[in-house]
């Protein structure tokens, strides 16, 4: 090895021990490099072993990387009130070897998936991010440096969610914006406000949903579960498609549910039927309406991927996990009671957010889409959810519905 020409290198007690005049440093994203102060040069390879290393995981709890007055990186230990130029992660380095993607399951938390990830160059938009799975998704992205925008109906609750995240980390870049999916006008106004910020959009999470709602019509004359769970998101993506394409590679993540398997959307002619999706009051059953909306989510995601993947925008749908205690069922007292009884056996919100985060950041999914995930594993949705003609039919119906209620909306 060429490095062995340096005198005395083979006399050290450990092969990892650096020779005189060398210093181990690390980059912001955790890669280790070596500085030779005598020859005033740096290199990635260890001067003795010739191996490359990287830091394993995040900074320890309570530590933060900052820059001193000379522009040098320093590490601040807020718990013990001390600073150092030594990256504490260097105590836990691993060799740079080809590694298989880590396997996750239903017990994995969202923050585990993001361990060691730096999202400071990502802009993330999440609908319904003020509570439940959406909040944990937003929190996870923000604590790893992402610029997170919560698109929520209730701006007061969204602002409280922002405060909670910033209390946890004062440098978290997270903000709330008004977006009511039950109003197509509100969705368009939100899209224009977002575009005015001149931000890119790397990850769009269609998370917001309602379940077991009493029958009601939105201001657009459509059944509320259908519009909030599907059509509002359809319009949102349609309005932001140009931003997504400019930000490529970008990902859309659509939160669906296993309940999509227990319904159908087609009429006798094999077309997606609006009367099924937005039924009159006397034909409405809240759980069935939710199941249909979740089937719409997967069909929408698949067709979106087919249309935008040539432009660097991918889309995947997912089921966040079985038996999670959230507030989504609050409109039905029986469901609330049953979930209260089952709460000791349910997933946590952090575990519920894991599959969303996985679909948004997993390196092995770069450029891949049109798939359905459960517990961070790809699985097969129902036959109708995979039907290309159903996806196209729903898309055409959705385009017509938003076009009838607007003027000049650009078509994908």
Instruction: Report the alpha-carbon distance of residue 371 to residue 75 in Å, rounded.
Output: 41
The CATH fold assigned to 31-95 is Ubiquitin Ligase Nedd4; Chain: W; (2.20.70)
Please check whether residue 72 is in contact with residue 85, taking contact to mean a CB–CB distance below 8 angstroms.
yes
pLDDT of res. 253: 98
Instruction: Report the alpha-carbon distance of residue 161 to residue 238 in Å, rounded.
Output: 27
In the beta sheet, which residues pair with residue 63? Answer: 77
Query: Where does 150-280 have alpha helices with state H?
Result: 155-168, 184-196, 224-226, 232-246, 274-277
Q: What is the pTM of this model?
A: 0.77
22-37 pLDDT tens trace:
888 777 667 788 888 8
Instruction: Report the alpha-carbon distance of residue 317 to residue 319 in Å, rounded.
Output: 7
Please check whether residue 292 is in contact with residue 299, taking contact to mean a CB–CB distance below 8 angstroms.
no
Q: Tokens in use for 115? A: 């361990």
Q: Which residues contact 255 (CB under 8 A, 6 or more apart)?
A: 133, 205, 206, 207, 209, 297, 317, 318, 320, 356
* Complete DSSP assignment for 372-393: EEETTEEE---TGGG-HHHHHH
pLDDT of res. 404: 95
User: Which mean pLDDT values do the consecutive 10-residue runs of the chain (412 residues) have?
Assistant: 37 68 77 82 83 74 78 78 80 56 87 91 97 97 96 97 95 97 98 98 97 95 98 98 98 97 85 93 96 98 96 97 59 54 69 97 94 96 95 97 75 52
Instruction: Report the alpha-carbon distance of residue 204 to residue 196 in Å, rounded.
Output: 17
C-alpha dist (Å) from residue 42 to 29, 35, 45, 52, 132? 17, 4, 9, 13, 47
pLDDT of res. 1: 38
C-alpha dist (Å) from residue 113 to 118, 233, 369? 12, 26, 19
**Dihedral of alpha carbons 232, 237, 240, 241, sign:** negative
* Complete DSSP assignment for 159-174: HHHHHHHHHH-TT-EE
The residues annotated as belonging to the active site are 290
CATH 2.20.70.10 segments of the chain? 31-95
Indicate the CATH number for domain 110-408.
3.40.50.720
Q: Which residues contact 405 (CB under 8 A, 6 or more apart)?
A: 184, 220
C-alpha dist (Å) from residue 254 to 35, 308, 408? 46, 15, 26
84-112 pLDDT tens trace:
877 787 766 655 544 456 789 889 999 99
pLDDT of res. 408: 45
pLDDT of res. 57: 65
Mean model confidence pLDDT for the chain: 86
| Residue 61 buriedness (CB in 10 A; 0-12 / 13-18 / 19+) | exposed
Please check whether residue 46 is in contact with residue 34, taking contact to mean a CB–CB distance below 8 angstroms.
yes
Instruction: Report the alpha-carbon distance of residue 227 to residue 247 in Å, rounded.
Output: 27
pLDDT of res. 167: 95
Instruction: Report the alpha-carbon distance of residue 198 to residue 127 in Å, rounded.
Output: 19
CATH 3.40.50.720 segments of the chain? 110-408
């Amino acid at each position: 090895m060429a490095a062995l020409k340096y005198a005395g290198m083979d006399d050290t007690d450990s092969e990892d021990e650096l020779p005189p005049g060398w210093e181990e440093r690390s980059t912001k994203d955790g890669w280790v490099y070596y500085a030779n102060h005598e020859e005033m040069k740096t290199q990635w390879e260890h001067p003795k072993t010739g191996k490359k290393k990287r830091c394993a995981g995040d900074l320890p709890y309570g530590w933060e990387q900052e820059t001193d007055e000379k522009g040098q990186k320093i590490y601040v230990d807020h718990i013990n009130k001390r600073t150092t130029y030594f990256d504490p992660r260097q105590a836990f380095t691993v060799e740079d070897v080809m590694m298989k993607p880590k396997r996750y399951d239903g017990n994995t938390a969202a923050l585990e998936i993001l361990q060691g990830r730096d999202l400071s160059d990502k802009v993330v938009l999440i609908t319904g991010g003020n509570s439940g799975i959406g909040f944990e998704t937003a929190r996870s992205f923000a604590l790893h440096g992402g610029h997170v925008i919560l698109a929520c109906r209730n701006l007061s609750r969204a602002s409280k969610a922002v405060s909670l995240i910033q209390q946890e980390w004062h440098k978290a870049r997270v903000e709330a914006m008004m977006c009511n999916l039950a109003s197509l006008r509100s969705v368009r106004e939100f899209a224009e406000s977002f575009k005015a910020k001149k931000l890119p959009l790397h990850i769009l999470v269609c998370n917001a949903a309602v379940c077991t709602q009493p029958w009601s019509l939105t201001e657009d004359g459509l059944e509320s579960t259908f519009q909030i769970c599907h059509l509002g998101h359809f319009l949102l993506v349609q309005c932001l498609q140009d931003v997504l394409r400019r930000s490529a590679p970008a990902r859309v993540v659509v939160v669906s549910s296993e309940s999509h398997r227990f319904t159908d959307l087609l009429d006798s002619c094999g077309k997606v039927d609006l009367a099924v999706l937005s039924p009159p009051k006397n034909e409405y059953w809240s759980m069935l309406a939710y199941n249909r909306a979740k089937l719409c989510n997967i069909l929408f995601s698949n067709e979106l991927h087919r249309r935008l993947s040539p432009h660097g925008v991918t889309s995947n749908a997912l089921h966040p996990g079985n038996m999670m205690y959230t507030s989504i069922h609050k409109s039905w007292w029986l469901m609330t009671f049953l979930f209260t009884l089952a709460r000791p056996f349910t997933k946590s919100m952090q575990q519920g957010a894991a599959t969303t985060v996985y679909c948004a950041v997993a390196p092995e999914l770069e450029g891949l889409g049109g798939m359905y995930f459960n517990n961070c594993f790809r699985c097969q949705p129902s036959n109708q959810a995979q039907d290309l003609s159903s996806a196209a039919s729903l898309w055409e119906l959705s385009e017509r519905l938003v076009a009838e209620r607007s003027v000049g909306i650009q078509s994908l």
